[in-house]
Copies of this chain bind each other. A is one copy, B any other.
Amino acid sequence: MPLKNTGTEQLIKDTARRLLFAEGKLHATTQEIADAAGVNRTGLHYYFRSRDQLIAAIFDEAMQELSQRLNDCMMADQPFKAKTKHIIRVFLRHMVAFPYQETFLVTEINTLGKKLIANIKSDPVKAYLHEAAAEMEKGHIQKMDPVHFLMNLFSLLSYPLIMAPLYKKLFQVSAKEFNALIAEREGIIMGMLFKK
């Protein structure tokens, strides 16, 4: 609600987003958020009144963004394969930056996410699913319920990044090596989804 825009409000939101969505600290306290942002905890209340409202704000914006990204990608005027490649690139980049966002959304969906239904438009998704079905008819991709195709796409995109800390240990690879693996994912995923 402040009149001047000094960037502090945004700074707090960005910091909270970073802690929650990038670092996976799902129960960061107001103190931790304020400290990480380098502001006084009082300032956090000055801008957001309560922790809940801060969380709600970034939750909403995250949903908004996600919905936007989904729409932009899926409504793009491109052939299906190029469009899919673009989805992979866009969402992979986002997952690298904020691997825990979806996890957060899902585990907090019960307490925060009732309005979620309203926010996400399902039309672009439906249109994309329709295109996928057409591609199956043409024999470019395996025949299946298009919903499976989409779940496969998002699974292959997202899960390795969510599991990164575990995988580094399980596969005994360094952070550098793991990044190299992730950089290969675009090609791998395309290879999984489309027939040669």
Interface residues of A (CB under 8 A from B): 24, 26-27, 100, 102-103, 105-107, 109-110, 113, 116-117, 120, 122, 125, 142, 144-145, 147-148, 150-152, 154-156, 158-160, 162-163, 165-167, 169-173, 181, 184-185, 188, 191-192
How many subunits of this chain does the assembly comprise? 2
- Selected from B26, B116, B117, B170, the residue in CB contact (under 8 A) with A107 is B26
A59 CB, nearest partner CB in chain B, Å: 13
- Selected from B122, B159, B181, the residue in CB contact (under 8 A) with A147 is B181
Subset of 22 A-B contacts with CB under 8 Å: A26-B27, A102-B166, A103-B107, A105-B166, A106-B166, A109-B166, A110-B165, A113-B165, A120-B169, A122-B171, A144-B191, A147-B173, A148-B184, A148-B188, A150-B171, A151-B159, A151-B167, A151-B181, A155-B155, A155-B158, A155-B160, A159-B159
Q: Secondary structure of the A side of the interface? A: helix
Instruction: Decide: B162 and A120 in contact? CB cutoff 8 A.
Output: no
A21 CB, nearest partner CB in chain B, Å: 12
A191 CB, nearest partner CB in chain B, Å: 6
A43 CB, nearest partner CB in chain B, Å: 25
CA distance A113 to B185 in the complex (A): 27
Instruction: Decide: A163 and B170 in contact? CB cutoff 8 A.
Output: no
Instruction: Decide: B125 and A171 in contact? CB cutoff 8 A.
Output: yes
Q: Which chain B residue shows the least CB distance to A119?
A: B169
Contacts of A165 in B (CB 8 A): 106, 109-110, 113
Q: Which chain B residue shows the least CB distance to A193?
A: B192
CA distance A181 to B109 in the complex (A): 21
